[in-house]
Amino acid sequence: MAITVHPVAPATPPPTPTPAGSVAVQPLPALHPVPRRRWSSRATRPLLALALVGASLAAAPAAPAGARDLPPAAPLAANPYERGPAPTVASIEATRGPFATAQTTVAAGSVSGFGGGTIYYPTSTAEGTFGAVAISPGFTARQTSVAWLGPRLASQGFVVITIDTRSVYDQPASRGTQLLAALDYLTNTSTVRTRIDRNRLAVMGHSMGGGGSLSAASTRPALQAAIPLTGWHTQKSWSTVRVPTLVIGAENDTVAPVSSHSEPFYTSLPATLDKAYLELNAASHSAPTSSNVTVAKYSISWLKRFVDDDTRYEQFLCPAPRGSAIEEYRDTCPHS
């Protein structure tokens, strides 16, 4: 007679007894704090991008049948602060960028620390928050002298405030203080404060306002960028500045000659700093007070590169740009 033998599963060993009065504790994986890093680091950016891609691949479920015909997923951005499409020469020379903008007036009586102004901002926040830029006019001038920069920069993905100073006769140091007050207003109490990343801020200014941008950068090293436009200041040494700075001078400037203002400003900045000097060919002191393709093109590139850490704009800054509109360009390429 045939006998069928069925396999018997091995007995499961009993759990290890826990002593009376004790609680079994399962070990947890070690947790390590993740430090905040500047996304502009050449060394960490490729590693981070690879880590993000690796993590996404590890977490992705197996593709269902027939999924091979689907279009590939969009690649992960290595930098979360990128705003807008990939730039081209045409896009940064255009009078308007990819973002629709709006503006709102800030009455002098409604703020303290500066003389009011106008805010220009992207209307959509679909891509997230934006960096912010405060811009000061020069001696005896009002915000109308730098107003053209407002919508031009905002349409590239920034919140911009062009300010009036408390007095048109305010000196550069005072204008620097007022630029910082305007940034504080933007990020703390303005109607657009929720659109702004308070860690991505910059200052610009013309003439004494340009000198003011250097003063502001010296006072607040947490700023991400400074751009003095044909700047004027009695102080010539800025060796304590730690903010990436683009100095723009004008060859035929008789109010703030480059030999006694923009050039010594640039050379006094630390050699280890991300910095550049652009001298406008055959231009006067007032060149930045009206629509100027060269001023806009390189200001946009500098702000994008250092406020947004967007290395897609590095191509317009390194290697050093050349052209009939540029008398001279100096830099510390490659940027960190």
3-state DSSP of 180-232: HHHHHHHHHCCCCHHHEEEEEEEEEEECHHHHHHHHHHHHCCCCCEEEEECCC
Any catalytic annotation for residue 206? no
**Tokens 């926040």, residue located:** 125
Contact yes or no for 135/141 (Cβ under 8 A): no
In the sheet that holds 225-229, the strands lie side by side as: 101-106, 117-122, 158-163, 130-136, 196-206, 225-229, 245-250, 275-280, 326-331
9's tokens:
């599963």
Any catalytic annotation for residue 285? yes
Catalytic residue among 206, 233, 261, 285: 285
Contact yes or no for 307/294 (Cβ under 8 A): no
Helices 208-219 & 172-188 angle (0-180, nearest 10): 60
Mention every residue, 6+ apart, whose C-beta is less than 8 A from residue 89.
Answer: 316
Q: Provide Rg for the chain, Cα atoms.
A: 27
* Cα separation values, 293 from 69, 153, 194, Å: 45, 12, 31
Catalytic residue among 207, 213, 215, 301: 207
Catalytic residue among 253, 309, 310, 331: 253
275-280 vs 326-331, strand pairing mode:
antiparallel
130-136 vs 196-206, strand pairing mode:
parallel
Any catalytic annotation for residue 261? no
Catalytic site positions = 207, 253, 285
